[in-house]
Amino acid sequence: MTWVTVNGMTWLREEVLGWRNPGMVTYLAFTTLVALTLVWFFKRQQKVWLINQLPGPAALPIVGNAFDVTTDSIELFKMANTIVQEYGQILRVWIGTTPLIIISKAKLAEVVLNSTRHLDKSHQYDFFHPWLGNTNVFLTSGSTWHSRRKLLTPAFHFKILEEFMDVFNTQSSKLVKKLQRKADGKLFNIFPDITNCTLDIICESAMGCSVNAQDDCESDYVKAVHRIQHLIQQRMIVVWLQPNFLFKLLGYAREQEALLATLHGFTRSIVKTRRKLYNQKKKGTTDTEEDQLLGKRTRLAFLDLLLEYSEDGAVLSDEDIREEVDLFVFAGHDTTTVSTNWCLYLLGSHPEIQAKVHEELDSIFGGSNRPASMADLRQMKYTENCIKESLRLFPSVPYVGRHLKEDIKVGDYHVPAGATVMVFTYAMHRDPEQFPNPEVFDPDRFLPENASKRHPFAYVPFSAGPRNCIGQKFGMMEEKVVLSTILRKFRVESTTPREDLRLLSEIVLRPEGGNFLKLFPRAHGEEDTDVADDGQETSKTRSLGVGK
């Protein structure tokens, strides 16, 4: 390729293409660029037009409805409920140039949640990646998600979950011992107590060792778990913290790295230790030092199952296992915490319903203090209905997000690829067509004859479809043990009226300031079972008075 001058004009000579005017090259390049820009623009406008066919608040050019979005999570949650009431069960808002489709009707949610083609999480979940990684069953998609889900599903079989009953009972009994000191009829915040109990349960179940949150809530690991979740929820709500460069500029990234060093370092050390112990057991050898580190009674843990599923790292590397264990700690901690608190709040607000729970528990346990068994859990039908109804009114996760990679028809509307669909579970659970008098706390809604009349996607506290919560059976079992252990000992009284609740819509739905209630000992007068530090049961006779 050479430049030559002919009759005063400069030309570009090419061996294959012949002669070309440089002005022509520039013209063709410019024309192509303009054509591609126009194609992109018209396709974009077509998508904008389709999105704007949905009802929703008026939006400004470029910024959309961004100026209406507050960083106050209480006001943001109120706003979400307000626009659903104003614009209906499918609507759109524009966050800058990104469309957000909000759905709160069962048959519309089914189209998205039950699809095998729309499995990608919305971009809000990206902020979990630094902590939980990129390949775990919660955040990944496509073939990677499918293979990981298939691999992990056997770990949540009822026969496997039964192995965790000892953990549930031991930690719940420890919680009750701590609550006995506060069961004097005075108002107190029970939220931290439930939080530390569920953290101990999930860590021992996931890793096979306790972090002793109930005894030492100020440990580095416990504080790091709470703080990292707070940072993530801040990024999800505060728009200017979402770009990585601003997150670094404002100093949050440095704090996050320090927290991750604590969290990842702890989990990696446990994975390494458990793998060493697992290999020793395979060889028929034992290590006294390792046994002492992991506890005299080495329990089956989620981590051990992953080691069995992944011999020699052929399927899951140690880092893959670390990600799944960290996910289990995250997903099984806050969700069960808030669900248990909401159930206690509602039972404390409805003494007549709480009395029925007490009656059921007394019929099962007969006033004894023995630990709950799987057979006992199966008999807690009314208690389970109370849990389900509290999850209807206050779902632990109030939104479920999906990023659309393909166009989809939802009801009468065509939603183009690239949009984010948010199923607003909190509002959907209040659809009067599915739940008459939706604000009334009525556990009988979940009697089989009543539940069968509803749309199958009307009630989705654990999401639904292919990406439903893999740990929902674990969570329900855990909550039944924790709640029944508390309610066998205490009567609960809530003092905050429902209309005075201020709801924080963060990663999970929680009451601002915590859950303030009163506890009164129930009268039994029979043998009281304590749990020693090594998990063994000891007994002593205690006469419990009746609170007034």
Decide if pLDDT at 169 tops 60. Answer: yes
Bridge partners of residue 505, in order along the sequence = 509
Bridge partners of residue 527, in order along the sequence = 541
Residue 17 has what pLDDT?
47
Helix (H, G, I), strand (E, B) or coil at 281: helix
At 35, the pLDDT band (50, 70, 90 cuts) reads confident
Helix (H, G, I), strand (E, B) or coil at 91: strand
Residue 107 and residue 177: Cα distance in Å, rounded? 46
Rg, Å, the chain Cα set: 28
E strand spans, 333-407: 399-403
Residue 180 has what pLDDT?
96
The pTM score is 0.86
Helix (H, G, I), strand (E, B) or coil at 78: helix
Residue 159 has what pLDDT?
83
Higher pLDDT, 92 or 42: 92
At 384, the pLDDT band (50, 70, 90 cuts) reads very high
At 1, the pLDDT band (50, 70, 90 cuts) reads low
Q: State pLDDT tens for residues 44-83.
A: 778 888 898 999 999 888 888 888 877 788 888 999 999 9
Instruction: Please say whether the beta carbons of 428 and 104 come within 8 A.
Output: yes
Decide if pLDDT at 540 tops 50. Answer: no
Residue 6 has what pLDDT?
54
Find, among 424, 412, 413, 400, the residue nearest to 47 by Cα. Answer: 413
Between the two ends of the chain, the Cα-to-Cα distance in Å is: 98
- Percentage with pLDDT > 70 across the chain: 88
Q: State pLDDT tens for residues 489-507.
A: 999 999 999 999 999 887 8
Residue spans per domain, the chain: 1-52, 123-391+441-458+467-507+517-541
Residue 93 and residue 523: Cα distance in Å, rounded? 55
Three-state SS letters, 299-317: CCCHHHHHHHHCHHHCCCC
Residue 532 has what pLDDT?
42
Residue 529 has what pLDDT?
39
Q: State pLDDT tens for residues 268-305.
A: 999 988 888 888 877 776 555 555 444 444 556 888 88
H/E stretch holding 5 reads: strand 2-6
At 528, the pLDDT band (50, 70, 90 cuts) reads very low
Q: What is the mean pLDDT of residues 331-335?
A: 89
Domain 123-391+441-458+467-507+517-541: assigned CATH number: 1.10.630.10
Q: State pLDDT tens for residues 437-464.
A: 999 999 999 999 999 999 999 999 999 9
Residue 408 and residue 371: Cα distance in Å, rounded? 50
Residue linked to tokens 């007994």: 539
